[in-house]
Amino acid sequence: MIQVSETARKKVISLMTEEGFDAGQDYVRVGVKSGGCSGLSYELDFDKTISEADKVFEDNDVRIIVDKKSFLYLVGTVLEYSGGLNGKGFVFNNPNAQRTCGCGESFSL
C-alpha cells in the first residue's frame, strides 16, 4: 500500500482540479522507471483509466494506481509534499530504498 500525507493530499487535489481531473473519480498514477543518478526514478501523473496490470489503493481520499512491477519497489511508501524554503515538490519516503540521490528523485535497492 502507498500512503498519502495530509499536505500531499491537499496538493494532489488542488493540482488535479487545475488540470481538469476529478479527485473523487480519477487517479494518481505512481510508478518507477529506470534512470536517475541512483538507478531508479519515481513517476507521478494523473490518469482517468486503470488497466488489468494496475493495483488500486485509496488513502486519505486520494485514489492511487500503481503498475504491478512498480508496486514491488513502492510497498510502504508515503507520498508527502514539501513546500518549504528548500524547494517545493512531492517527496517519496520509500522504506525500500537503500540509497537515494541528493535531489530525492531517484533511488536504488
- Per residue in 3-53, pLDDT tens? 999 999 999 999 999 999 999 999 999 998 876 555 788 899 999 999 999
Q: How far apart, in whole angstroms, are the C-alpha atoms of residue 41 and residue 51?
A: 22
- Residue 53 has a CB neighbour count (10 Å cut-off) of 12
Q: Do 30 and 62 form a contact (C-beta atoms < 8 A)?
A: no
Distance of CA 98 to the CA centre of its chain: 18
Q: Is the dihedral of CA 11, 12, 16, 19 positive or negative?
A: positive
Taking CA atoms, 59 is separated from 79, 82, 85, 89, in Å, by 10, 18, 27, 19
Query: Cell 534512470 identifies what position?
Result: 35
Q: Please tell me what DSSP assigns to residue 76.
A: T
| Residue 84 grid coordinates | 518549504
Query: Cell 494532489 identifies what position?
Result: 12
- Per residue in 50-101, pLDDT tens? 999 999 999 999 999 999 989 988 999 999 998 766 667 888 888 877 656 5
